[in-house]
Amino acid sequence: MDMIQSIRNALVPVHRAGYPFIAAFFVAGLLLGLLWQPLFWLFLILTIWCAYFFRDPERLVPQADHLVISPADGHVSLVGHVVPPAELQLGDEPLLRISIFMNVFDCHINRAPVRGGILRISYREGQFKNAELDKASEVNERSSMVINGPFGEVGVVQIAGAVARRIVSFVRAGGSLEAGERYGLIRFGSRLDIYLPDGTVPRVAEGQRAIAGETIIAEHGDGLATWPARRD
């Protein structure tokens, strides 16, 4: 029993949004394998990769209202002050923006950077340029959400990339989120921009790796020396 439990603990859960894709790759492999056996093995590899892409591991989320937690796995591609997109309704003055780029091998479950109520969500059609480019924030297809957090309104923008063709949201305006709670995903390869109010200081640098729900990417005010964590 201990061995079985150890195996279960080692396996990372797969989000249900990935089930149709995993099944489609596997069935396609079975059918095409009847025509040419190597195709079965190719699609078996794709099936395993698809399950890996939609993995949904638990995270230990730091719990303190002055902290901003990474909403995505990936590397920090941009840190700077930028005027937020108009649909966020956060004004026309530059705000601190932290951008996190996710490649096709990163976990794509997105998590709330702060706790609070969801003020608004908007979806905007656009292009599918490389999400690492700065102009992708303006021209690419995106879904924007504003959270009324403990220290002000925080904007989170899911941006589709050159490969991504679908942004999925699990929440609606009027609801609420805990810091680190799952709220959406993007298929397959993309970027998240986080717009933060004045008084917020970045705690990451460009090129640094971030883990959704765990990495502290910014702090507001003086903060605290220590904080507890919540498993999610």
User: Which amino acids are annotated catalytic?
Assistant: 190
CA atoms of 136 and 119, how far apart (whole Å): 24
Please return the burial class of 203, using the count of CB atoms within 10 Å of its CB with bins 0-12, 13-18 and 19+. Answer: middle
The sheet with strand 109-111 has its strands ordered as: 109-111, 182-187, 166-169
- Going from the C-alpha of 97 to that of each of 59, 82, 124, 146, 218, the distances in angstroms are 24, 6, 19, 14, 10
CB 59, CB 212: distance < 8 Å: yes
CA atoms of 6 and 12, how far apart (whole Å): 12
